[in-house]
Amino acid sequence: MEFNNDHQQKMAEKEAKRMQQALATSKVSTDTYIDQNQDVTLTKVDINRMALRSLALQASFNYERMQAGGWLYTILPALRKIHKNADDLKNAMHMHMEFINVHPFDVTFLSGLVLAMEEGKENISTIRSVKVALMGPLGGIGDALFWLTLLPICAGLGASLALDGSFLGPIIFLLMFNLVHFGLRFGLAHYGYHAGTNALPLLKTHTKRISHAASIVGMTVIGALVASYVHLSTPLEINAGKAHIALQADVLDKLMPNLLPLGFTLSVFYLMKRNFSPVKLIGLTVVIGILGKLVGCL
């Protein structure tokens, strides 16, 4: 998880340098908005609309600008309300179509903060710098909170109910996950907008702590899921004279319960780090299971 966060931060820093180099040839005609009136105030309806439109953040995902199209779509109604001057709106839209890559679930914090800056008619370069600076931290926090913590917990509870024969398993999973997901999506939108740039020092200070704490919880949950849902054992026996030793019960389980599931899980993780695709890993698991059963060792 730390590697993933550092990688995203390095990518964001490289993109910041690229943006600065490209600024000289940018089509944005000015760094300041022509109309400096700050008489427009976004309402709760505007912020909720922005949060709802953020669901389409990755609808036009591409490898040149990543989420830029969906990002502009998210904040465009608010930009139109803020910027009455046509040139100001054009410059804002052009800047917001630049490269951006942030976690799709906590993106509303950044969009709310950016809209507060747009409403205050901050310089375009300042708004750009804030976007670039927060892409990495928000990506790391989002991965730790949602993919490594919330998803395993909700999926584990839903799968447990489903394995007991309850049709409520997938329903409980979807309800739990999306209650938290949408609560944070809309809540962060309002928090980011009202906190404005005052939230930047707090976020930068606690980013690593939040990610580290969420990673610990998530890894604990994943460890419990491995022991509960990965089933692998061997019927092999060791014969030494008149003694018959069951390899699973008398050796492996004595060393550590669920040693085989743990070993298989770590092997899959190693192959994933070696860039094996999930499809290949699923196929390999099926082949190992079938061959192990036919040979009689699993």
Same domain, 128 and 179: no
Question: Please, what is the end-to-end C-alpha distance for the chain in angstroms?
Answer: 33
> Are 35 and 110 in a shared domain?
yes
- Asked if 7 and 130 sit in the same domain, the reply is yes
For residue 112, what pLDDT band results from cuts at 50, 70 and 90? very high
Domain extent, residue 269, equals 237-295
What string of DSSP letters covers 189-252?
Answer: HHHHHHHGGGHHHHHHHHHHHHHHHHHHHHHHHHHHHHHHH-------EEEETTEEEEIIIIII
The kind and range of the H/E element at 146 are none
Total domains in the chain come to 3
Judge if 17 and 50 occupy the same domain.
yes
Judgement on whether residues 52 and 35 belong to the same structural domain of the protein:
yes
Q: What's at 196, amino acid-wise?
A: G
Residue 23 has pLDDT above 50, yes or no: no
For residue 24, pLDDT over 50 is answered with no
> CA 141, 144, 146 angle in degrees (round to 5)?
100
57 φ, ψ to 5°?
Answer: -55, -40
Query: Looking at the structure, do residues 216 and 120 belong to the same domain, yes or no?
Result: no
Question: What is the tens place of the pLDDT at every residue in 224-245?
Answer: 667 777 788 888 777 766 667 7
Same domain, 84 and 46: yes
Confidence of residue 57 (pLDDT cuts 50, 70, 90): very high
Q: pLDDT per residue over 198-208, tens digit each?
A: 655 555 555 55
Which tokens belong to 85?
A: 């001057």
**Tokens (6 digits) for 167:** 């049709």
Contacts of 252 (CB under 8 A, 6+ apart): 234, 259, 260
Q: Both 173 and 201 in a single domain?
A: yes
199 closest CA partner among 74, 108, 102, 123: 108
- Say if residue 223 is in the same domain as residue 274: no
Same domain, 72 and 105: yes
Give the per-residue pLDDT at 201: 57
Does the pLDDT at position 71 exceed 50? yes
Give yes or no: residues 102 and 165 share one domain.
no
Render pLDDT for 234-276 as a digit per residue (tens, 0 to 9).
887 777 666 677 777 777 777 777 788 888 888 888 888 888 8
Q: Tell me 54's DSSP state.
A: G
Tell me: do 176 and 218 sit in the same domain. yes
